[in-house]
Amino acid sequence: LGVIGTGGLIAGFKRADEGHDVRLGEAFRMGTKYFWRLLGFRLLLVLFGIVVALIVAAAVVGSLGICLIPLICLGLPLGFAIGVYISLCQVALVDDDLSVMQVFGRVWETVRTHYGPAALMGVILVIGGFVVGLVMAIPVFLVMVPLMVSLAGNDPTALTTGAILSGVCFVAYLPVLLLLNSVLQTYLNGAWTLTYRRLTGKGPAGAAPAAVVIPPPA
């Protein structure tokens, strides 16, 4: 459902940017069209993540943790760049109707020729989304306060009361959290879709698209 939702959001924002009205059912149907390609793309990412995790773990264990700090310093900007690249790849797969293998080269060429705007939007969306996510998670930590207080008191009755109170508060906040997260993911998917379309010279219906200048090879 998450894969279909992502595909539907991207396809829906594409049609809306072209000047068409999009309904929820139509967006869902468009999302199912790209289900297998998006699923295959995400499975490749999972496999890639497992390989990278094994390599990093082997490097840390082999050096007894000495290279951990350099790995973190290198991993943060590298992880940011990969996150921007992956987000644009998902959009390109739907927006340009590409296969999983085609999308990597297409997005690489787009980012290579427009690295400045791509990096700027990445900073805004990745860091902004992270900050908003933290704000949304604050109430989750707050509802755990009764449980933490009861644990500190070492009283079985208070522990039961604190657990029940925290559980009820969490269940009450969960629908709000899901709604807020849905709004956030909708905004982020829409922003990445419009970012990719502008980077590739696509604009609203009736507007002249900006030229994409690709320099000749050296």
In order along its 218 residues, the chain shows pLDDT tens digits of 888 888 888 988 988 888 888 888 888 888 888 899 999 999 999 999 899 888 877 777 766 656 667 777 777 888 888 889 999 999 999 999 888 889 999 999 999 899 899 999 999 998 888 899 999 989 988 888 887 877 777 777 777 888 888 888 889 999 999 999 889 988 998 999 999 999 988 876 444 444 444 444 44
C-alpha–C-alpha distance, residues 95 and 26, integer Å = 16
List phi, psi (to 5°) of 155.
Answer: -115, 120
Give the separation between CA 67 and CA 79, rounded to whole angstroms.
17
pLDDT of residue 175: 92
Give CA separation, 67 vs 28, 54, 58, 62, 157, in Å: 46, 15, 11, 9, 48
Report the pLDDT value the prediction gives residue 66, as an integer from 0 to 100: 62
Check residue 56 and give its pLDDT.
77
Q: What is the pTM of this model?
A: 0.76
Of 94, 81, 166, nearest to 126 by C-alpha is 81
